[in-house]
């Protein structure tokens, strides 16, 4: 396993701005706890499903992950007892795992905790795949998977280059207390909008922030993308919100609902998610015509 440790360290050192991981690497990968839908998706794509014993609730793809594996809860609201109760031999976690005190407790336990933090970009996705592949000893499969992802992103870039007038897009990650929480710069929402050839209408906002009615109107998005609501019709809810209701997106009915696990996690399907958004941006949602 010394070679595995060296390989992973080299990947992290080659691109520190794209991917980083903890120094300690596992010597037993027979019982993996996977935290983060992107991590789970990579593990399944590498053929490691049989080694995964538990996942978090963001591991929505492939569907059998949540259906067949034990759940340790939401990745940002973990408990150390819940994670350790499944008797893992190693924990592989996305950088968004939390809360911080629980992650610190897990890192301090006797179970190897490998934290994978990668930039939300095409290169970041490729590094993530190669890094996880190195961790689980599946370098050849990881290289093949990464090559396919690189080719898909290259094709996407060629399609994106043909766009002459980017749509102004607003991403709403949640609605709380009657306010839309939108994705500004330094977010996965911003990254996927740009990959899909759009212009982030909230690019002047840093991170995910609530939007006032006045600000929503001023942003004037052509298209609104939202996570589906847990209850009711999120599209109708957004279209009726003060400020947003007067935007070009609401007036033309161009409000799209797409699962956050698909478009925000930057796993192996990231290029496909961006392509789907690109196609939606080019379509008049009110008529269904190009």
User: Environment class of residue 213 by beta-carbon count within 10 Å: exposed (0-12), middle (13-18) or buried (19+)?
Assistant: middle
Lowest mean pLDDT among 127-141, 202-216, 254-268: 254-268
Average pLDDT in the 92-100 region? 94
What CATH number is given for 168-281 in this structure?
3.40.50.1980
Domain boundaries, the chain: 2-156, 168-281
Please state, in angstroms and rounded to a whole number, the distance separating the CA atoms of residues 116 and 172: 26
Q: Give the DSSP H/E element, type plus range, for residue 65.
A: helix 63-68
Would you state the structure tokens that stand for residue 20, as one six-digit string? Answer: 């980083």
2-156 under CATH 3.40.50.1980, yes or no: yes
Taking the C-alpha atoms of 205, 210, 213 and 215 in order, what is their torsion angle to the nearest 10 degrees? -10
Please state, in angstroms and rounded to a whole number, the distance separating the CA atoms of residues 33 and 56: 8
On the question of a common fold for 2-156 and 168-281, the answer reads: yes
Please state, in angstroms and rounded to a whole number, the distance separating the CA atoms of residues 121 and 190: 11
Q: Note the pLDDT of residue 21.
A: 58
Nearest-10 crossing angle of helices 270-281, 139-160 = 20
Which residue did the predictor score with more confidence, 209 or 227?
209
Whether residue 145 contacts residue 55, with contact meaning beta carbons closer than 8 Å, is answered with: no
The residue written with tokens 């060629």 in the block is 158
Would you state the structure tokens that stand for residue 234, as one six-digit string? Answer: 């999120």
pLDDT, averaged across the chain:
88
Average pLDDT in the 221-238 region? 83
Report the DSSP beta bridge partners of residue 54: 33, 70
Lowest mean pLDDT among 33-47, 147-161, 260-274: 260-274
Report the DSSP beta bridge partners of residue 35: 93
Closest CA relative to residue 124, chosen from 188, 214, 48, 210: 188
202 pLDDT above the threshold of 60 = yes
Please state, in angstroms and rounded to a whole number, the distance separating the CA atoms of residues 285 and 32: 42
Report the DSSP beta bridge partners of residue 172: 182, 226
Helix, coil or strand: residue 234: helix
Q: How confident is the model at residue 118 (pLDDT cuts 50, 70, 90)?
A: very high
18 pLDDT above the threshold of 90 = no
Which residue did the predictor score with more confidence, 23 or 40?
40
Question: Please, how many CA atoms are within 13 Å of residue 80, restricted to the half-sphere of its CB?
Answer: 13
70 pLDDT above the threshold of 90 = yes
C-alpha distance across the termini of the chain, in Å:
54
22 pLDDT above the threshold of 80 = no
């Amino acid at each position: 396993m010394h070679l595995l440790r060296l390989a992973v360290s080299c990947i992290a050192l080659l691109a520190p701005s794209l991917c980083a991981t903890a120094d300690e690497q596992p010597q037993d990968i027979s019982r993996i706890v996977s935290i983060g839908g992107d991590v789970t998706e990579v593990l399944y794509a590498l053929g490691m499903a049989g080694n995964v014993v538990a996942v978090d609730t963001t591991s929505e793809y492939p569907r059998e992950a949540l259906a067949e594996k034990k759940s340790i809860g939401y990745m940002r609201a973990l408990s150390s007892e819940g994670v350790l109760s499944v008797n893992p031999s190693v924990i592989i976690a996305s950088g968004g795992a939390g809360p911080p005190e629980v992650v610190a407790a897990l890192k301090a336990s006797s179970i190897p905790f490998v934290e994978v933090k990668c930039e939300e970009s095409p290169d970041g996705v490729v590094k993530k795949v190669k890094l996880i592949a190195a961790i689980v000893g599946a370098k050849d499969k990881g290289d093949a998977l990464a090559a396919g992802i690189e080719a898909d992103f290259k094709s996407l870039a060629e399609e994106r280059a043909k766009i002459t007038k980017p749509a102004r897009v607003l991403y709403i990650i949640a609605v709380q207390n009657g306010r839309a929480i939108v994705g500004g710069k330094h977010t996965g929402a911003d990254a996927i909008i740009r990959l899909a050839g759009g212009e982030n209408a909230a690019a002047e906002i840093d991170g995910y922030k609530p939007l006032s009615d006045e600000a929503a109107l001023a942003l004037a998005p052509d298209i609104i993308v939202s996570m589906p609501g847990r209850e009711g019709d999120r599209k109708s809810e957004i279209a009726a919100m003060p400020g947003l209701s007067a935007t070009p997106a609401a007036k033309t009915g161009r409000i799209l609902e797409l699962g956050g696990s698909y478009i925000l996690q930057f796993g192996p399907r990231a290029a496909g998610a961006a392509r789907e958004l690109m196609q939606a941006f080019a379509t008049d949602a009110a008529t269904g015509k190009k």
